[in-house]
Amino acid sequence: MRNELELERDSLKGLAKLTKKGELQSRIDRKNEEIDLLKVGLSGIVKRYGFQTVHDFYKVFSVSKTANAEYRNKVDKWEEQYGEKVQKKEESISKRLRNYQRENADRQTKQISKSRNRGAR
């Protein structure tokens, strides 16, 4: 907002430059005061949390943000290797193995019953 006011002030020409320049400059000055108050408030907030300056806070924040991103990547990789998805795949393999064993047992019982029926004739 302040930048827009400065651009408007700088683009004034002719008579408007004389009349509106003072009004725009006072609005710019008020915005600067607001910004300064916000900076002081922000400085107070970070000091309450144990930081000397806002810059110190941003350094720690940046490091923690990087560490969090690395942690998330490691969690994602772990989930791919050992998570629920992998367990579901293992379950499906064990289910397939059990089904195969049942089918094999059923085939064997059918073959035994067929061979007994042939011998009875």
Q: What is the pLDDT of residues 38-47, one digit of tens each?
A: 888 888 999 9
In a domain, 117, yes or no: no
Count CB atoms within 10 A of the CB of residue 19.
Answer: 10
CB 6 within 8 A of CB 29: no
pLDDT tens for 62-98 read 999 999 999 999 999 988 888 776 666 666 777 878 8
In a domain, 112, yes or no: no
In a domain, 99, yes or no: no
> In terms of residue numbers, what domain contains 38?
1-50
Structure tokens at 25: 């400059």
Domains contained in the chain, number: 1
Mean pLDDT (whole number) for 13-28: 79
Q: What is the pTM of this model?
A: 0.45
